[in-house]
Amino acid sequence: MNSEDTQNYMRDRYFLPMFKQGHEKQADRRPHLQAIFTHRGETAKRERDEFFDEAYAEILLDLFMRWCQTQLHESDMRESLYQNVLALGAIKGKLHEYEQYGRNAPFLGMEDESNEDDNDSN
């Protein structure tokens, strides 16, 4: 199972059921969960816009310059720098994911309501 499959599994298994289950308890929690995901999305977008994009570029440039200054035989140092870049990219990816969840959270509940309307008309 690759990383994308794992993410899709987690999203389908844990994130979407919060919005799709028809239990009363879940229906009562839906507005609260939508507010949480919307707030996370707004916060992630604000942090990314105000701080992360500029700092991200500077840090990547610094890491690249350090990588260019290493000797070919310093494979441990190069590997360490590479792992730092990957970690930084994972953080940016997670911020984008939170942003997407925040943008989509208000619409996830609408799908259930439209399905109920379709079932009532049949």
Rounded Cα distance, 43 and 9, in Å:
25
User: What does pLDDT average to over the chain?
Assistant: 76
Regarding predicted confidence, which is higher, 48 or 121?
48
Rounded Cα distance, 75 and 100, in Å:
37
pLDDT tier, 27 (very low <50, low <70, confident <90, very high otherwise)? low
Query: pTM of this prediction?
Result: 0.54
